[in-house]
């Protein structure tokens, strides 16, 4: 049996999986699907034709080197060691480095640049939080073991189980997570900013400034919610795309950060975004220590420039800035807006991924690799930034992302 | 590897009592050797040759440092070097990993210690250390707010504390014991702080004094090369000087050397409000000189910077004061941390006192006991070391700075700086940047030029027997003629000419984790990572070097 295996699916990065052959004890159904046998890209390909790894890498390097401003995108489902090499490749090529955050938690980063963030590890939910808020997120479906492992039922040092916690869910519909709640507040879509602001007014003693109804909640409900928040010895607010992807975007996140700042003047509170992919945090941390920024980074002038909305993948593609793309462990064709995908179809695309997806269909060069956390080891960062070393639990003939990046870098700086 | 002869240089090496003697230095296979056939000869005639500088306390890697970068793109956008033969180097005060390595080397520094890493995040810290080129490095894991520390301190159980320290340092691949505001960060989990050495830590029977005493004893008995490295309680507030004096008393009671107080400047204020705050440096300098304790300066540099410490409650207080942005991080049941941008203004009475207090320490404490630091980035950039050295070496330069920067004249009343005539000799400076930090860290092959020492060498373009005026000193210190790291020339005339990768030191102490097996098992119930996944393996580090004790 192999113990302490890290699940490489969602941002929970559960590290208590025990493998007996193909069976992984403690995996949730979503994790099981990740570890189940899936279709693989069989061999490297150039324009759909099977080729050797050497040929594919040579071709990829040629495309990247002859490109004026290649886009290097993806990264949230590979290890830091590969990401680091990817950042250096982007720097040496004068290209653009961007990662999946630019289409998910970018508003959180922008808000953090304005306000900072009052955070902590998931252990704070487990050990101390007696009020836990899920706002615009649905862990029961998106991060299935979050409630049992960390936040709702977990047995901790001060909070010893479900009965020691007051669980609040705020959402626009009654999600499966709402059924776990002590109090559920159904709000109107796109009203998060207004509600955060109203709560801040109440917490800061300006109840009179709050109108009778805000975002579908009565004033009494808002006061009750504010009192519950204040009643915590240690409170924790988890938030998701329901906050970042509704009207207001980073303004919403800024408002909830400020609410948490205010609450810290009365009691203790922290805030945690529910990050999706298992290493989306690493794909921002690595470029930050290598070149200073987390995403939307352009190197065309020989140094790093950060400009969201300009050097983010979708915008750079739509503007037609990039004349080649390398996609690592991601599927932009499935997730990007139509115009961005159209541009991808026009330019040479290199894909590095273990599994076929929609991007494979448009890629000129396809390089299949080992699956991170099953066939390849390396470092990843959980949603709270806690670093974990994912394991290799099966042998494979596929090369790792790191090996491919090393070879590419060698060819590019040569 | 090439062999090098540094010919006719004027050597300063306090470890060997060499003060400005014309000598030849031979280098082979990364070490200083007696004599050898040299592939390359450096003509160091008229230049001063010293060991590579050592920074004993600079936040250069780990989750806190990187969160600071992410929060401050306005600081990171500063371009130091474009991508080319070397990496692009970014950052104003905060720096990227490539910048950190290059900037140290460009000052003639070759070793730096990251002084505050949560063991839970040690993998991350080592990833960043591995991305810093050229310099040697090490990391100090945090112990001062760990539940197990409190438990063993409450039981005054030095045996178990020893085992715990050895176990945790091994897991962190760390170099020693760091303590930040003992008990205060745990209190912060309840929205509080601790305010004296003898008050009970919330939820535990232990006091900060017991935490410090037990850890100091453990560090002696384990024979750690670097003893307890402390950021004292009550940091950054008027009245902190008293707490610092009491902390020194604790070490005195133990009777042998076991305490390094870091960024002493930040912990040396008298008074009871910001209005009557003053410097406690004069009194404390006497205490330090008379007792078995060492310190580093924590000098403040006027301008903007980003504060970052494991002292969560301090950063919250600073956030309320500065009303700027604020990052906080509560880490499981072992530590916490915070980050707040700040600007030190010469015109501000408080900041002026801070500036003067740091310099007082640099001028009053025995150079065998004090190391130059800014507590990077808390007091300011480490790239200011040449500036700090020049201030310490020249009263005229101090007077000029006070005049030109318009330093608030409250320092006349609140500090003794203006009445200090001392000008540090270059010999003193070499102690404060090489010999003393190497001794405090127990790095025998560093900070000196003895045969067998690591070939980390800086050559400055001035003659230390015939000191030029302060302007030329400053310029020479900022532009070493050569920096040699591991026997390779990495800097010439202040510019990077080649890049190599330094070592990461860690301490392997005799471990008896079976003594604390029960406690470890029970504490991991409260972790969100498995015990098997906690910590760093040596083979994950680029160039790990274990020091066995
Ligand atoms: S919750 Fe996420 S990390 Fe944990 S087992 Fe399920 S998919 Fe994997
Ligand atoms: Zn520090």
Taking an 8 Å cut-off on Cβ atoms, the answer to whether B83 and A292 are in contact is: no
Residue B432 · residue B368 · CB < 8 Å? no
In this complex, which of B77, B87, B120 lies closest to A91 when CB atoms are compared?
Answer: B87
* Look-up of token digits 């390359």: B40
Ligand nearest to the CA of B236: 2
Compute how many other C-beta atoms are within 10 angstroms of the C-beta atom of residue A347.
18
Nearest-Cα distance to chain A for B105, in Å, is: 18
Q: How far is the CA of B373 from the centre of ligand 2 (A)?
A: 10
Q: Residue whose CA is closest, atom 3 of ligand 1?
A: A13
Indicate whether B270 belongs to any domain.
Answer: yes
Q: How far is the CA of B380 from the centre of ligand 2 (A)?
A: 11
What's the CA gap between B157 and B143, in Å, rounded? Answer: 15
Question: A258 CB under 6 A from ligand 1?
Answer: no
Using a CB-CB cut-off of 8 Å, the residues of chain B touching A381 are: 124
What's the CA gap between B123 and B253, in Å, rounded? Answer: 37
Nearest C-alpha in B relative to A117: B327
Per-window interface: A 125-144 vs B, CB < 8 A:
126-128
Question: A383 CB under 6 A from ligand 1?
Answer: no
Compute how many other C-beta atoms are within 10 angstroms of the C-beta atom of residue B345.
18
Q: How many CB pairs under 8 A join A and B?
A: 175
Compute how many other C-beta atoms are within 10 angstroms of the C-beta atom of residue A3.
14
Check: pTM over 0.95? Answer yes or no.
Answer: yes
B312 upstream amide cis, omega within 30 of 0 = no
pLDDT at B108 over 80: yes
What's the CA gap between A232 and A251, in Å, rounded? Answer: 25
Taking an 8 Å cut-off on Cβ atoms, the answer to whether B61 and A84 are in contact is: no
In this complex, which of A116, A289, A385 lies closest to B69 when CB atoms are compared?
Answer: A289
Structure token pair of residue B299 = 């000098």
Q: What is the pLDDT of residue A104?
A: 87
Domain encompassing residue B431: 53-344+351-390+412-444
Question: A341 CB under 6 A from ligand 1?
Answer: no
Name the nearest CA neighbour of A287 among A279, A297, A277, A278: A297
Ligand nearest to the CA of B374: 2
Nearest-Cα distance to chain B for A16, in Å, is: 6
Indicate whether B185 belongs to any domain.
Answer: yes
Number of residues written out for chain A: 414
Structure token pair of residue B528 = 């969100």
Residue A355 backbone phi and psi in degrees, to 5? -115, 145
* Residues B55-71 pLDDT 10s: 999 999 999 999 999 99
| Among A97, A291, A294, A373, the residue to mutate for chain B (most B Cβ within 10 A) | A291
Indicate whether B264 belongs to any domain.
Answer: yes
Q: How far is the CA of B358 from the centre of ligand 2 (A)?
A: 14
Which of B114-128, B194-208, B470-484, B503-517 has the lowest average pLDDT? B503-517
Q: Which residues of B474-496 are buried (b: 16+ CB within 10 A; e: fewer)?
A: bbbbbbbbbbbbbbbbbbbebeb
Structure token pair of residue B103 = 């900037």
Mean pLDDT of B274-294: 97
Residue A102 · residue A295 · CB < 8 Å? yes
Judged by DSSP in three states, B539 sits in helix
Question: A143 CB under 6 A from ligand 1?
Answer: yes
What's the CA gap between B120 and B118, in Å, rounded? Answer: 5
* Look-up of token digits 């969160």: B67
Cβ within 8 Å of residue A303, ≥6 positions away: B79, B82, B83, B88, B90
**DSSP type of residue B419:** G
Taking an 8 Å cut-off on Cβ atoms, the answer to whether B331 and A123 are in contact is: yes
Residue B280 · residue B268 · CB < 8 Å? yes
Nearest C-alpha in B relative to A293: B70
Q: How far is the CA of B378 from the centre of ligand 2 (A)?
A: 7
Low-confidence ranges of chain A (pLDDT < 50): none
Q: What is the pLDDT of residue A42?
A: 96
Domains present along chain A, CATH in parentheses? 42-104+279-413 (3.40.50.740), 106-273 (3.40.228.10)
* Residues B210-250 pLDDT 10s: 999 999 999 999 999 999 999 999 999 999 999 999 999 99
Nearest-Cα distance to chain A for B171, in Å, is: 13
Q: What percent of chain B has pLDDT over 70?
A: 100
**Inter-CA distances, A39 with A6, A31, A33, A408, Å:** 22, 16, 12, 26
Ligand nearest to the CA of A143: 1
In this complex, which of B70, B120, B526 lies closest to A288 when CB atoms are compared?
Answer: B70
Indicate whether B162 belongs to any domain.
Answer: yes
Per-window interface: A 245-284 vs B, CB < 8 A:
261, 264-265, 267-268, 270, 284
Radius of gyration of chain B (CA): 22
The β-bridge relationship of strands A387-390 and A378-381 is antiparallel
Judged by DSSP in three states, A375 sits in coil
Nearest C-alpha in A relative to B330: A120
What's the CA gap between A333 and B15, in Å, rounded? Answer: 64
Cβ within 8 Å of residue A406, ≥6 positions away: A85
Indicate whether B508 belongs to any domain.
Answer: no
Residue B114 · residue A329 · CB < 8 Å? no
Name the nearest CA neighbour of A12 among A199, A144, A170, A124: A144
What's the CA gap between A8 and A78, in Å, rounded? Answer: 9
For a substitution probing ligand 1, which of A16, A30, A238 has the most ligand atoms within 8 Å of its CB?
A30
Q: Residue whose CA is closest, atom 7 of ligand 1?
A: A31
Q: Roughly how many angstroms between the first and final C-alpha of chain A, as a whole number?
A: 44
Structure token pair of residue A155 = 């047995």
Question: What kind and span of H or E run contains A273?
Answer: strand A268-273
Question: What kind and span of H or E run contains B24?
Answer: strand B18-28
Name the nearest CA neighbour of B385 among B455, B441, B434: B434
**DSSP type of residue A397:** S
Using a CB-CB cut-off of 8 Å, the residues of chain A touching B330 are: 119-121, 124, 270
Question: A79 CB under 6 A from ligand 1?
Answer: no
A200 touches B: beta carbon within 8 Å? no
Question: A144 CB under 6 A from ligand 1?
Answer: yes
Question: A149 CB under 6 A from ligand 1?
Answer: no
| Number of domains present in the structure of chain B | 1
* Residues B88-107 pLDDT 10s: 999 999 999 999 999 999 99
The answer for A216, left when phi > 0, alpha when psi is -120 to 50, beta otherwise, is: left
For a substitution probing ligand 1, which of A143, A149, A153 has the most ligand atoms within 8 Å of its CB?
A143
Atom of ligand 1 nearest to the CA of A30: 7
For a substitution probing ligand 1, which of A4, A6, A7 has the most ligand atoms within 8 Å of its CB?
A7
Cβ within 8 Å of residue B226, ≥6 positions away: B140, B175, B176, B177, B260, B440, B441, B442, B507
Using a CB-CB cut-off of 8 Å, the residues of chain A touching B316 are: 264
A103 touches B: beta carbon within 8 Å? no
Taking an 8 Å cut-off on Cβ atoms, the answer to whether A3 and B530 are in contact is: yes
Nearest C-alpha in B relative to A156: B526
A98 touches B: beta carbon within 8 Å? no
**Inter-CA distances, B205 with B153, B156, B334, Å:** 9, 11, 17
What's the CA gap between A322 and A96, in Å, rounded? Answer: 8
Nearest C-alpha in A relative to B329: A120
Question: A147 CB under 6 A from ligand 1?
Answer: no
Using a CB-CB cut-off of 8 Å, the residues of chain B touching A116 are: 71, 319, 325-328, 339-340
Distance of CA B423 to the CA centre of its chain: 23
DSSP track, B233-273? TTTTSTTHHHHHHHHHHHHHHH-SS-EEE-SGGGG-EESSS
**What CATH number does the domain containing B122 carry?**
3.20.20.140
Question: A9 CB under 6 A from ligand 1?
Answer: yes
Q: Where are the beta strands (DSSP E) in B356-426?
A: 370-371
Nearest C-alpha in A relative to B128: A289
B142 touches A: beta carbon within 8 Å? no
Using a CB-CB cut-off of 8 Å, the residues of chain A touching B524 are: none
Structure token pair of residue B227 = 């003893």
Q: What is the pLDDT of residue B510?
A: 86
Indicate whether B93 belongs to any domain.
Answer: yes
Compute how many other C-beta atoms are within 10 angstroms of the C-beta atom of residue A182.
14
Indicate whether B19 belongs to any domain.
Answer: no
Sign, Cα dihedral of B347, B353, B356, B362: negative
What's the CA gap between A43 and A56, in Å, rounded? Answer: 10
Residue B111 · residue B86 · CB < 8 Å? no
Residue B285 · residue B364 · CB < 8 Å? yes
ipTM over 0.95: yes
Sign, Cα dihedral of B186, B190, B196, B197: negative
What's the CA gap between B95 and A210, in Å, rounded? Answer: 44
Cβ within 8 Å of residue A384, ≥6 positions away: A119, A120, A121, A122, A272, A281
Question: What kind and span of H or E run contains B410?
Answer: helix B410-414
Name the nearest CA neighbour of B110 among B478, B505, B447: B447
Atom of ligand 1 nearest to the CA of A278: 3
Taking an 8 Å cut-off on Cβ atoms, the answer to whether A270 and B533 are in contact is: no
What does the mean pLDDT of chain B come to?
97
* Look-up of token digits 């020693």: B176
Longest alpha-carbon distance in chain B: 65
Indicate whether B457 belongs to any domain.
Answer: no
Torsion of Cα atoms, A362 then A368 then A373 then A378, to 10°: -100
Residue B449 has, within 13 A of its CA and on its CB side, a CA count of 29
Q: How far is the CA of B247 from the centre of ligand 2 (A)?
A: 17
């Amino acid at each position: 049996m192999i113990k302490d295996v890290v699940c490489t699916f969602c941002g929970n990065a559960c590290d208590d999986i025990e493998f007996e052959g193909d069976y992984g004890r403690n995996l949730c159904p979503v994790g099981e699907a990740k570890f189940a046998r899936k279709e693989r890209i069989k061999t490297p390909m150039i324009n759909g034709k099977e080729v050797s790894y050497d040929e594919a890498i040579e071709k990829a390097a040629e495309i990247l080197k002859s490109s004026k401003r290649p886009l290097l995108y993806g990264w949230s489902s590979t290890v830091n060691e590969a990401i680091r090499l990817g950042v250096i490749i982007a720097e040496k090529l004068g290209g653009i480095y961007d990662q999946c955050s630019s289409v998910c938690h970018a508003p959180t980063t922008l808000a953090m640049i304005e306000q900072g963030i009052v955070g902590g590890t998931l252990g704070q939910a487990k050990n101390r939080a007696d009020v836990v808020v899920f706002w615009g997120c649905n862990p029961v479906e998106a991060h299935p073991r979050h409630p049992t492992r960390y936040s709702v039922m977990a047995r901790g040092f001060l909070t010893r189980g479900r009965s020691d916690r007051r669980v609040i869910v705020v959402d626009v519909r009654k999600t499966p997570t709402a059924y776990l709640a002590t109090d559920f507040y159904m709000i109107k879509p796109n009203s998060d900013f207004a509600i955060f602001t109203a709560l801040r007014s109440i917490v800061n003693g300006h109840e009179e400034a709050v109108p009778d109804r805000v975002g579908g909640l009565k004033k009494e409900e808002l006061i009750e919610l504010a009192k519950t928040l204040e009643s915590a010895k240690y409170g924790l607010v988890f938030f998701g795309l329901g906050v970042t992807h509704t009207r207001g975007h980073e303004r919403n996140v800024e408002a909830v950060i400020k609410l948490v700042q205010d609450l810290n003047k009365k009691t203790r509170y922290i805030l945690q975004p529910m990050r999706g992919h298992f290493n989306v945090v690493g794909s921002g941390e690595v470029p930050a220590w290598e070149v200073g920024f987390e995403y939307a980074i352009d190197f065309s002038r020989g140094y790093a420039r950060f400009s969201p909305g300009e050097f983010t993948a979708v915008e750079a593609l739509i503007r037609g800035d990039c004349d080649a793309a390398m996609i690592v462990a991601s599927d932009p064709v499935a997730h990007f807006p139509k115009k961005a995908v159209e541009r991808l179809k026009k330019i040479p695309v290199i894909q590095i991924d273990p599994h076929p997806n929609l991007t494979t269909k448009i890629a000129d060069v396809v390089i299949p690799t080992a699956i991170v956390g099953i066939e390849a080891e390396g470092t990843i960062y959980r949603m709270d930034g806690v670093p974990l070393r994912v394991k290799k639990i099966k042998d494979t003939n596929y090369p790792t992302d790191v090996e491919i990046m090393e070879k590419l870098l060698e060819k590019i700086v040569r | 590897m090439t062999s090098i002869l540094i010919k006719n240089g004027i050597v300063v090496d306090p470890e060997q009592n060499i003060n400005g003697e014309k000598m030849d230095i031979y280098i082979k296979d990364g070490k200083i050797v007696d004599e050898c056939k040299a592939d390359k000869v450096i003509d160091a005639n008229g230049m001063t040759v010293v060991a590579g500088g050592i920074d004993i306390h600079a936040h250069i890697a780990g989750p806190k440092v990187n969160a600071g970068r992410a929060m401050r793109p306005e600081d990171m956008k500063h371009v130091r070097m474009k991508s080319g033969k070397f990496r692009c180097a970014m950052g104003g005060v905060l720096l990227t990993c490539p910048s950190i390595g290059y900037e140290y080397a460009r000052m003639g520094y070759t070793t730096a210690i990251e002084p505050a890493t949560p063991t839970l995040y040690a993998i991350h810290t080592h990833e960043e250390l591995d991305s810093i080129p050229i310099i040697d490095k090490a990391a100090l894991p945090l112990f001062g707010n760990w539940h197990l520390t409190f438990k063993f301190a409450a039981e005054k159980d030095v045996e178990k504390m020893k085992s715990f320290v050895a176990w945790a340092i091994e897991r962190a691949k760390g170099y020693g014991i760091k303590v930040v505001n003992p008990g205060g960060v745990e209190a912060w989990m309840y929205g509080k702080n601790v305010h004296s050495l003898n008050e009970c830590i919330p939820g535990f029977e232990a006091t900060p004094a017991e935490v410090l005493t037990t850890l100091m004893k453990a560090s002696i008995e384990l024979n750690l090369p670097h003893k307890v490295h402390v950021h004292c309680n009550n940091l950054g507030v008027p009245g902190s000087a008293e707490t610092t004096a009491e902390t020194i008393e604790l070490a005195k009671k133990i009777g042998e050397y076991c305490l390094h107080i870091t960024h002493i400047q930040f912990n040396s204020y008298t008074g009871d409000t910001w209005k009557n705050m003053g410097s406690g440096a004069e009194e404390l300098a006497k205490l330090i000189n008379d007792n078995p304790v060492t310190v580093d300066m924590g000098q403040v540099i006027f301008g903007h910077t980003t504060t970052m410490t494991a002292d969560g409650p301090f950063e919250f207080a600073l956030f309320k004061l500065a009303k700027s942005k604020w990052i906080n991080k509560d880490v499981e049941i072992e530590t916490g941390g915070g980050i707040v941008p700040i600007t030190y203004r010469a015109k501000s009475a408080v900041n002026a006192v801070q500036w003067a207090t740091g310099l007082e320490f640099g001028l009053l404490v025995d150079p065998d006991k004090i190391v130059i630091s800014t507590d990077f980035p808390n007091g300011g950039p480490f790239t200011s070391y040449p500036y700090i050295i020049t201030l310490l070496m020249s009263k005229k330069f101090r007077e000029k700075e006070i005049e030109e920067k318009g330093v608030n004249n409250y320092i006349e009343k609140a500090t003794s700086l203006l009445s200090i005539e001392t000008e540090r000799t270059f010999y003193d400076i070499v102690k404060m940047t090489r010999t003393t930090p190497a001794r405090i860290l127990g790095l025998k092959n560093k900070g000196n030029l003895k045969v067998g020492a690591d070939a980390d060498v800086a050559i400055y373009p001035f003659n230390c027997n015939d000191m030029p005026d302060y302007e030329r000193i400053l310029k020479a210190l900022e532009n070493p003629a050569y920096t040699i790291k591991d026997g390779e020339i990495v800097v010439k005339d202040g510019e990077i000419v080649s890049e190599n990768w330094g070592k990461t030191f860690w301490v392997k102490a005799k471990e008896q984790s079976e003594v604390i097996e029960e406690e470890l098992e029970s504490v991991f119930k409260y972790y969100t990572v498995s015990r098997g996944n906690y910590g760093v393996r040596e083979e994950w580090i680029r160039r790990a070097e274990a020091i066995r004790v």
